[in-house]
Amino acid sequence: MAVTTQQDITQYYVVLGLSCGATIEQIKQARNLLAREWHPDRFPSDGEKVQAEEKMKRINLAYAFLKEYQPIEYLNRSTSSNVSAESPVNVKAQSSPSSRNLKDPVALVQEARSMAVSGQVNEAIMLLDVAISTQDDYAEAYQLRGELRQRLGQDDGAKSDLRNARHYRWAYQPNAKKEPVRSTPKSTPPKSTPPQSTPPQSTPPRASKTERPKITFQYEMKGHTDRVTQLRWHEKVLLSASLDGSVRCWSGMNGMIEDCLPGKDAIVSMAVSPIQDLLVTGCQNGQVKMWNFKHRKLIRSLSLHQGSVTGVSFDVSGKLLTTVGEDGVMKIFRLNPASLVATVENKIPIWAIDHLGSYFVTTHSSSRLNVNHLDTILCSVNLSSQFCKALSVSEDNKWIAVGDDRACITIFHSVGKQIKSFATYGTGTVNAIAFTSDSKYLITAGSSSMIQIWNTKTWDLFHQWDAGSTEITALQVSERFIFSAGSDHIIKLWKIEE
């Protein structure tokens, strides 16, 4: 059976619900389970029978190919138009030279990351399959494969990989390329938290133990029924916005809920005016809502965008409000009285916005970061990814930090000059990013349970800890307190004690 691309081969694995490189026993078992599930006789209506028959054709086609397929042989071919099963290859005994070192999981992950950046996601996953088969406790390989599977919509496989990444995070030593290094025997699961005496080698160099702050958990805040998308701090009150349509107001003293601004429209963005009691929320349906925060009253609801309102932001004066959306439109309003100042149409999604004094900073799906004054672009620089959805400007307006879907943080000076780019080592897709009020530290979190603190003087990793959630969806920092929202809809308060 001739197959011309790696994408075709990967699709066969996807049809059977398997990872690339699955054993013949796993392939047979998956085919039998799917055949029972999709047998046409199980479906009463003619339409369902036709759908089941088409599904069975794809299942049988995938099975017919994969039961003969040798993945290592295919990976060793740098250019090949088809795959033959005439010369079986013993995977464990494979030793012929090739353009790739299939024995080096570190090199495979590095190449997979490069392929993913260039858009070759399926091919990258295949390399990661080999890396994991070579060293089955390699946390970074699981982490990257999980993120790529998320991108392809393979949610179950992604969750499994990200769980394994957390499980093995502290066991892998990246410098030990020839032999896998485990902190415990394979039969005993490794500890979920790192030893305090020796920092794990899978993260950048840390400050000494005496210099690291102590992070203490304070309490939880429960009440939302869907993903928490935004956290904001205003007058000793924590505001949390959610896809459940509500904005909840929590006491900063004890975490008790003080009030709830109800709604039915899923909220994805939120901002509070620095000089007046005006709260603005952006919704998935393109609505922008303005609230009198003091009286907890809805003032106005406007339909401003086609699709999700990905960001709302006030300038430092509180007199200008800017909204951006997936429709690529940026709208700038002057308040008191409200009037539309400018509309900028980019025709490509705008992911995030923050204010830089009287200017606005935005990230775009064109892999660009723009600094705008009204409708004029003052500065435009390249970003590391098309999906830079986490953005924060330091309180002193000195730094701009951007997080992407490849676990990468890029730091820019406020004039647009790139200062630093570094990996977050286990955070996964960066969902949230925030500076402390004194601009000394940067807090990052994402599609894993890790929260990390970075020193803005050196941009070294200062501290990190496991927040106990599958995913961190939002962050808010107030002096020495960090609020984090997890995929379990629970908000947690952490205290930094130096």
CB neighbours (10 Å) of residue 297? 10
Q: Helical H runs in 39-154?
A: 46-66, 71-75, 105-117, 121-134, 139-152
Contacts of 226 (CB under 8 A, 6+ apart): 242, 243, 244, 266, 489
Considering the chain, what is the average pLDDT of its residues? 79
Cβ proximity of 49 and 39 under 8 Å: no
Structure confidence at residue 85 as a pLDDT band (50, 70, 90): very low
Alpha carbon distance 428, 323 (integer Å) = 27
Q: What is the pLDDT of residue 141?
A: 85
Q: Helical H runs in 135-189?
A: 139-152, 155-168
Share of the chain above pLDDT 70, in %: 80
Tens digits of residue pLDDT in 213-263: 788 999 999 999 999 999 999 888 999 999 999 999 998 778 898 899 989
Q: What is the pLDDT of residue 333?
A: 93
Dihedral pair phi/psi, residue 240, rounded to 5°: -125, 130
Tens digits of residue pLDDT in 119-173: 788 778 878 887 887 787 788 888 888 888 888 877 777 887 887 777 676 433 3
- What is the mean pLDDT of the segment spanning 189-206? 37
Predicted TM-score (pTM) of the model is 0.60
153-158-160-164 Cα dihedral, nearest 10 degrees: 180
Tens digits of residue pLDDT in 469-489: 779 999 999 888 999 999 899
Give the orientation angle of helix 139-152 with respect to helix 105-117, to 10 degrees. Answer: 30
Q: Which domains does the chain have, with CATH numbers?
A: 6-89+96-168 (1.25.40.10), 214-497 (2.130.10.10)
Dihedral pair phi/psi, residue 341, rounded to 5°: -90, -45
Tens digits of residue pLDDT in 362-377: 999 999 999 988 888 8
Tens digits of residue pLDDT in 405-452: 888 899 998 777 888 888 776 677 899 999 998 899 999 999 888 899
Cβ proximity of 403 and 413 under 8 Å: no
Cβ proximity of 207 and 455 under 8 Å: yes
Between 455 and 89, residue with greater pLDDT? 455
Q: What is the pLDDT of residue 269?
A: 97
Helices (runs of H) and strands (runs of E) counted in the chain: 8, 28
